[in-house]
Amino acid sequence: MVAEIPSPDCVDPSSAFASKIRSARQKFDSKLTAAGDFQTANLPVRVVGVGLFDFFHHQRGAAPNVVELHPVLDITFQPTTPSPSEPVPPAGGNVPSGPRWEYRLITSSTTEALLSQANSLGSQGWEMVGVAVDPSRPDKFVGYLKRLKQP
């Protein structure tokens, strides 16, 4: 899985994530050295971050569904306790305890058609959470949607 910690200098100081990104980057920098090319570290870590559905563009280490963590908000090297079974709530927020999400992908050759599809699916509870552009496809605009699973 790809996980990215941006430079704290690239994060607006008023961002709700700024202090967590800065802390995660300090933890990373105290153990490893970032470089411009891929490096293998081969040590266990636990990362917490914001899930992002990317599109496959030959990135090394990509998950099968191309989900990434970006930005990373916390990192623990050599964790000694099991990973939590429940998601960690965001600062100042609560994670719903029962519902589960379902996901859907839509594609189109134009942004207008993609938005039209997303808007029509909105009446069924779908919410667009991300968009990617894959110029190698004729339907190059890709939308990622989610909604609560229907009972």
Q: How confident is the model at residue 36 (pLDDT cuts 50, 70, 90)?
A: confident
Identity of residue 50 = V
Contact 103, 144 (CB under 8 A): yes
Which has more confidence, 81 or 29?
A: 29
Model's pTM, two decimal places?
Answer: 0.55
Question: Could you say which of 1.20.5, 1.20.1630, 3.10.105, 3.30.70 is the CATH number of the domain covering 101-148?
Answer: 3.30.70
Question: DSSP letters of 74-115?
Answer: EEEES--SPPPSSPPPPTT----SS--EEEEEEEESSHHHHH
Percent of the chain with pLDDT over 70: 86
- Domain positions in the chain are 2-77, 101-148
Identity of residue 81 = T
pLDDT at 136: 77
Q: Please determine, for residue 144, whether its predicted confidence score (pLDDT) is greater than 60.
A: yes
Three-state SS at 28:
helix
Q: Please determine, for residue 31, whether its predicted confidence score (pLDDT) is greater than 90.
A: yes
Contact 17, 90 (CB under 8 A): no
Q: Please determine, for residue 93, whether its predicted confidence score (pLDDT) is greater than 70.
A: no
**Pair of tokens at residue 25:** 């980057």
Q: How confident is the model at residue 29 (pLDDT cuts 50, 70, 90)?
A: very high
Q: Please determine, for residue 105, whether its predicted confidence score (pLDDT) is greater than 60.
A: yes
Q: How many CA atoms lie within 13 A of 140 on its CB side?
A: 9
